[in-house]
Amino acid sequence: MPLDPTLHADDLRAWYGSMPVTSRYTVGPAGERFFRAMKDAARILGTRCGRCNLTYVPGRLFCERCFDELTDWTEVGPSGTIEAVTVVHLDLDGALLEPPVLMALVRLDGADTVLYHRLSGVDVADAKIGLRVEAAFRRLEDRTGSILDISHFRPAG
Amino acid sequence: MSMRRVAVVGAGMTRFVRRAMETPKELAWHASRMALDSCGLTLNDVGGVCIGSAPDAFDGVHMKGEYLSDGSGAWGKPVMRSYVGGGTGVFLGPHGWYHVASGLFDVVLVVAEEKMSSFYPHAQAAFLTIFDHTTERPLEPNLLWIFALEMNRYMQTYGISKRDIAQVAVKNKRNAADHPCAMLGEANITVEDVLNSEVLAWPVQRLDVSPVSDGAVAIVMAAEGVAERITDRPVWVQGVGWNLDTAYWTNRDLAYPEYVERAARMAYEMAGVREPRKEIHVVEPYDPFDYKELHHLEGLLLADRGKAPELTAQGVTARNGAMPVCPSGGLLGVGNPITAAGLMKVAELFWQLRGEAGARQVPGTPERGLAQAWGDLMQVGTVTILGTQRPS
Ligand SMILES: [Zn+2]
């Protein structure tokens, strides 16, 4: 029957296929500078657009608003403020996360944009917009030049 | 048609390279910025943005139009991405034209980007999943194999030799030696070099095929009344056309691209072109393989069926010939970052018709040019006709 809602996939001639994709990404010229500073010196760099009066983090090659090339690099953070936060209770397969995982948007001091990252070391009840936090870096020997060189954000101080 | 006339007023392109350090959006920004700078505009002058890119799989971002948007100047603007496979770059002609001709936008930025080097280990694998999952994918086809089937069919139908076809690769790679953005310009390449190159899938050999590439191209399109204020030499969109053959690529006429003819006829009618062989002065047909340039010249009605190789042999399609074909160097010579390569052809017409093509400039004063691309599962034809004369 067309569009019969009672059919089960197992009763049909069906099979599993995949669309395998492996990509090798580059970080680009701005990314090289941003990730090298994070890996080598645990510093977080932004680029500043003087025309738009905006500091982008991570540092970008160009300003999306005025299209200027951005060459004015500036250090931001490592402290900042929570702009949004959620408490994740189920993983992608529906399994219970124990303890739950906190994901947040952090506006680093000196930045006009936010970073999406993990938040930990804080009670769920205290995970609120406005909370002051700081970046927790991995140890130098464990840093690879990845956004995960910041292990997570934790309450400041 | 009560549409506004539309002109191309600026163009820019990055070098085409094997492996770019820049991210896809940075490539798009370079080309977009060059296109705006070329006509003295800024993002404030741009009303809307048209983005073209081929499969998301290449750049490894499954939302590529949105991903490219900031590099394409689309912050805070209406933006639309189109995708008809390899045909997308020239489809950006109609795409951008529509945006302006409709009256919705006075100025649009039209951007094409591809970063094929992201796909690991080789971009061909991105094409494994474009085929029918029931009847074809179990046989693990790839594009080289199916184009080898088509090339062989074309050769046997008309009695065309490999040597006839290799002349196209030689012509285009030599032309590309004069292109500052080209990847595979070879001033001294010979037919023997092509015939002696590695066999990939008979009759396709290494030098019959364009390379995997990274790059971006952008153009600026503007409405009548606005275009003339931006530049004293607007290049007008005189005709656009596109057409799709059957979704079953196996059931197409492999010796003759009907869908290209239908797309061309649509564009010729709009442009008022009755005798294309006399009225088209410079041609940029899609040449991802050397035989495809010939195939497409026939579909565009610029050569009789099976006779395009004779035009090449006689030098008619040389840069200084009576009908220059791929004076840019084409995909075979400049490179093939899929969508960007198609829009490169439109940009080449813009430069040729303004006399700005430098060492690539065709002789005389060409008044009308045609760019064409081909794609999806080798079943879509896209055509853009540009000219120095404002359409009546
Ligand atoms: Zn700015």
* A15 in a structural domain: no
Burial of residue A42, with CB atoms counted within 10 A of its CB: 0-12 exposed, 13-18 middle, 19 or more buried: middle
State yes or no: cis peptide before B180, omega within 30 of 0: no
Mean pLDDT of the region B234-256: 94
Q: Are B211 and B182 in contact (CB under 8 A)?
A: no
Mean pLDDT of the region B45-69: 92
Q: Can you give the pLDDT at residue A1?
A: 66
* Residue B29: HSE in the Cβ half-sphere, 13 Å Cα cutoff: 21
Instruction: Please give the interface size between A and B, counted as residue pairs whose CB atoms are below 8 Å apart.
Output: 64
Q: How far apart are CA B78 and CA B74, in angstroms?
A: 7
Q: What share of chain B in percent tops pLDDT 90?
A: 87
Question: Average per-residue pLDDT in chain B?
Answer: 96
Checking if the pLDDT of B91 tops 70, the result is yes
Checking if the pLDDT of B1 tops 60, the result is no
Return the closest-CA partner of residue B187 out of B173, B207, B206.
B173
Q: How far apart are CA A60 and CA A27, in angstroms?
A: 10
The H or E element spanning position B89 is helix B88-101
Checking if the pLDDT of A152 tops 60, the result is yes
Q: How far apart are CA B288 and CA B296, in angstroms?
A: 11
Residues of A with Cβ-Cβ distance to B218 under 8 angstroms: none
* Domains identified in chain A, total number: 1
Please, what is the angle between helix B162-176 and helix B290-299, to 10°?
A: 100
Best of B14, B19, B43, B212 to disrupt the A interface by mutation (most A CBs within 10 Å)? B43
* A1 in a structural domain: no
Q: How far apart are CA B55 and CA B62, in angstroms?
A: 9
Query: Coil, strand, or helix at residue B44?
Result: helix
Look up the domain containing A141 and give its range: 28-155
Burial of residue B333, with CB atoms counted within 10 A of its CB: 0-12 exposed, 13-18 middle, 19 or more buried: buried
Which are the contacts of B250, defined by CB distance < 8 A and separation ≥ 6? none
Q: Which residue has the higher pLDDT, B138 or A63?
A: A63
Query: Could you tell me the distance, in angstroms and rounded to a whole number, from the CA of residue A31 to the centre of ligand 1?
Result: 18
* A19 in a structural domain: no
Q: Identify the residue whose tokens are 């009847």.
A: B135
What single DSSP character describes residue B207? G
Which are the contacts of A110, defined by CB distance < 8 A and separation ≥ 6? A46, A55, A74, A75, A76, A77
Q: How far apart are CA A76 and CA A108, in angstroms?
A: 6
* A4 in a structural domain: no
Q: How far apart are CA B147 and CA B128, in angstroms?
A: 14
Structural fold of domain B6-120+211-387: Peroxisomal Thiolase; Chain A, domain 1 (3.40.47)
Return the closest-CA partner of residue B217 out of B368, B130, B345, B40.
B345
Contact residues, chain B to chain A, C-beta under 8 Å: 20-23, 26, 29, 32-33, 36, 42-43, 57, 59-60, 70-71, 73, 75-76, 117-121, 125-126, 128-129, 133, 137
Query: Coil, strand, or helix at residue B150?
Result: helix
Q: How far apart are CA A59 and CA A47, in angstroms?
A: 4
State yes or no: cis peptide before B94, omega within 30 of 0: no
Residues of A with Cβ-Cβ distance to B60 under 8 angstroms: 21, 23, 25
Q: Which residue has the higher pLDDT, B124 or B215?
A: B215
Q: How far apart are CA B125 and CA B148, in angstroms?
A: 17
Query: Coil, strand, or helix at residue B161?
Result: coil
Q: What tens digit of pLDDT does each residue of B184-225 get?
A: 999 999 999 999 999 999 999 999 999 999 999 999 999 999
Q: What tens digit of pLDDT does each residue of A78-136 get?
A: 999 999 999 999 999 999 999 999 999 999 999 999 999 999 999 999 999 999 999 99
The H or E element spanning position B385 is strand B380-387
Residues of B with Cβ-Cβ distance to A28 under 8 angstroms: 21-23, 26
- Give backbone dihedrals phi and psi of B132, rounded to 5 degrees, phi first: -60, 125
Domains of chain B, residue spans? 6-120+211-387
Q: Are B367 and B273 in contact (CB under 8 A)?
A: no
pLDDT band at A157 (very low <50, low <70, confident <90, very high): confident
